[in-house]
Amino acid sequence: MYEERFDKRKFDELRPMEAETGIIPNANGSARFKIGNTEAYAAVYGPQEVKPKHLEKVDRAIIMCRYDMMPFSVPDRAKPGFDRRDMEISEVITNSLNRAVILEEMPRSMIDVRVYVSQADAGTRCASLTAAAMACADAGLPMRDLVAAVAAGKIGDSICLDLTKEEEDFHEGGATDVPIGFLPSKNEIVLLQLDGKVSREDLKKIIEIGKIGAAKIYELQKAALKRRFSNESQS
Ligand code: UDP
């Protein structure tokens, strides 16, 4: 049984969030997204020449994304180097961005996306994807929509939004974690993973709660981008 959340949040409540764009002067686009104690920075370079050349596509751009955790992002110092988890997360972020960015408008080019997690308390792939989508918009890339991503799941008997690491590790009754990425205005899911076991009915409820959370994240993303572009037009 999990009747009250460790941090006293409601079951459908997100952790406090912060979002900003245009924070890295040397990148074409950048963003920071923080949700509770999970924080991600994203930098976008391009569209630029494809290197190595054989990866070039004549009819569209390619996205190359790399996710990394800073050594101090977790209590036990993250191991340096690109491990299987980093590889998997880089790939799921790339796949999601491929659905959001209009690649056909930038043939023969490459978009390099770098995401760094500075603090990790679960949900880092979702925070990274949320930041990466904002950074792509900040770079002025043509996009079908932003991606707003959040993890939801089931802890004990309760369907929960935006799990913490403490909740992911809940043993009594088990924990299931479902990272979900949405193109909110298109009502499309571009990321859906599942770590654990749930019934079909519960999965529907988890996706529904995730969608409500993503709608709030989307509002924050848009507000951050509006702030950035209105500041730019004033200077
Ligand atoms: N984590 C950690 N050390 C690692 C990798 C992960 O402490 O080397 C923690 C971190 O808090 C992370 C969480 O485990 O957010 C869950 O990781 P998972 O692979 O499920 O991905 P995430 O939920 O971050 O997308």
pLDDT tens-digit profile of 177-229? 999 999 999 999 999 999 999 999 999 999 999 999 999 999 999 999 999 88
Task: Please tell me whether residue 33 adopts helix, strand or coil conformation.
Answer: strand
Question: Any idea how long the chain is?
Answer: 235
Distance of CA 220 to the CA centre of its chain: 13
**Residue % of the chain over a pLDDT of 90:** 90
Q: Which residue has the tokens 């999601």?
A: 96
Q: What angle is formed at CA 202 by the lines to CA 169 and CA 11, rounded to 5 degrees?
A: 55
For a mutational test of ligand 1's pocket, the pick from 35, 37, 72, 74, i.e. the residue with the most ligand atoms closer than 8 A to its C-beta, is 74
pLDDT at 235: 64
Phi-psi region at 132: left, alpha or beta (left = phi > 0; alpha = psi -120 to 50):
alpha
How far away, in angstroms, is 168 Cα from ligand 1 center? 9
What CATH number is given for 17-234 in this structure? 3.30.230.70
Give the pLDDT confidence score for residue 101 in this predicted structure: 98
Provide the residue ranges of all domains of the chain, joining segments of one domain with +.
Answer: 17-234
Query: What ligand 1 atom has the least distance to the C-alpha of 165?
Result: 11
Q: What is the pLDDT of residues 30-41, one digit of tens each?
A: 999 999 999 999
**Alpha carbon of 68 to ligand 1 centroid (Å):** 11
Q: If you take atom 13 of ligand 1, which residue's CA is the nearest one?
A: 122
Ligand 1 center from residue 108 Cα (angstroms): 35
pLDDT over threshold 80, residue 21: yes
Q: Distance between CA 36 and CA 52 in Å, rounded?
A: 38
Number of the ligand 1 atom closest to the C-alpha atom of 38: 15
Q: How far apart are the first and last CA of the chain?
A: 55
Predicted pLDDT of residue 79:
82
Q: What is the mean pLDDT of the chain?
A: 96
Residue 127: name the closest of 151, 160, 100 by CA: 151
The answer to whether residues 67 and 93 touch, using CB atoms and an 8 Å cutoff, is yes
Flag whether the pTM goes above 0.85: yes
**Residue of the CA atom closest to atom 7 of ligand 1:** 74
- Give the pLDDT of residue 171: 78
In ligand 1, which atom is closest to the CA atom of 74? 7
Residues at CB less than 6 angstroms from ligand 1: 74, 78, 85, 120-125, 151, 165, 168, 179
